[in-house]
Amino acid sequence: RQTIADTLGVGGIMRGLRTVPHLWKICEDMLAVCPQAIMLQYVNPMAINTWAIAEKYPDIKQVGLCHSVQGTAMELAHDLDIPYEEIRYRSAGINHMAFYLKFEHRQPDGSYRNLYPDLLRAYSEGRVPKPGWNPRCPNRVRYEMLKRLGYFVTESSEHFAEYTPYFIKDGREDLIEKFGIPLDEYPKRCIEQIERWKGQAEAYRSADKIEVEQSKEYASSIMNSVWTGEPSVIYGNVRNNGCITSLPYNCAAEVPCLVDASGVQPTFIGDL
């Protein structure tokens, strides 16, 4: 029983087996026509894909990109009624299993205040999580795990419910109901997404003018930084060449990365 099934378990493994060979073919093309280019890879299972590319094509410059780090930071800012622009955070781990090592709010004097006590208090008082974009996914699992671990995980509750043995259990439908775990969520989401795409396509065909705004995704900022040299910081999935010392060397790790004209440069975290 899974909710999203794009990272691990039967669904994640099968998705990796389907996806990796196609990414390897792209790597072959890159080596032939653009060996200095950077692959910006948005496909799940992110950790499996990033690791597989690094193992077979170590000379390919690549970074796996997810929106969970910045997306969850926005969710938590919303839960606490704090402008996202006033939040500072640092996260690390593996894709869909990275945690905010720091989550802080800038104060008027320029200092930063730890927001973990605020999140824990708001959860204990029933003020969070606030309703999000998907009413089927109330985000209770991650807050419950925050109580147990002391750190907030960056991927959604519907994902994270699959990654632990505590919530999806045989004969424990009470847990499914209590924590609002949306089993078989991904097929529903795909159907809805396809309908949105159809609507968008029709709107684009009939529009006199199409406005394009930068999203929270990292790809455009990476391209800008590499091309212009203007530095930026992203959270990327890269080969773990010692960035996180408590994870296996050469596995796929998700860490803060500096991006400029020299490319994507992972930063050191140390032990987790």
Positions annotated as catalytic residues are 67
User: Do the beta carbons of residue 247 and residue 240 sit within 8 Å?
Assistant: yes
Count Cβ atoms below 10 Å from residue 106 Cβ, excluding itself: 15
Distances in Å between the Cα of 17 and the Cα atoms of 5, 11, 59 are 13, 10, 22
Instruction: Give the residue from 123, 175, 121 showing the smallest Cα distance to 144.
Output: 123
Two structure tokens written together for 156: 């959604």
- What is the torsional sign of CA 259, 100, 16, 157? negative
Report d(CA 258, CA 264) in Å as an integer. Answer: 6
**What are the start-end ranges of the E strands in 50-184?**
61-65, 87-94, 97-106, 112-114
User: Do the beta carbons of residue 232 and residue 224 sit within 8 Å?
Assistant: yes
Instruction: Give the residue from 258, 267, 253, 268 showing the smallest Cα distance to 93.
Output: 253
User: Do the beta carbons of residue 271 and residue 75 sit within 8 Å?
Assistant: no
Distances in Å between the Cα of 8 and the Cα atoms of 5, 117, 175 are 6, 31, 21
| Amino acid identity for residue 113 in this structure | R
Instruction: Give the residue from 12, 41, 15, 16 showing the smallest Cα distance to 26.
Output: 41
